[in-house]
Amino acid sequence: RKYAAISSSEQRQSYKNDFNAEYNEYRDLHARIERITRRFTQLDAKLKQLLQGSEEYKVKTELKTPEKSSFCS
């Protein structure tokens, strides 16, 4: 455990300063992850609309599963 129980107002302020120093970075990273997750959700929905067995479907499915993809060999 990085932080001990708060036992003084100075310690509380120190913890608060640590939190505030990193909170903006946390929010930025969280927003970035949220945008990426939304994009993957959109791409997955688009893939589901493609005709199974079509060339476009095969290519996009292969890109979706890189462990099976020749592109990542």
Domain boundaries, the chain: 9-72
pLDDT of residue 73: 43
Local confidence pLDDT in tens for the 73 residues of the chain: 688 899 999 999 999 999 999 999 999 999 999 999 999 999 888 888 877 777 777 776 776 766 654 444 4
Burial class (CB in 10 A: 0-12, 13-18, 19+), 72: exposed
Q: What is the pLDDT of residue 24?
A: 96
Q: Which pTM value belongs to this model?
A: 0.56
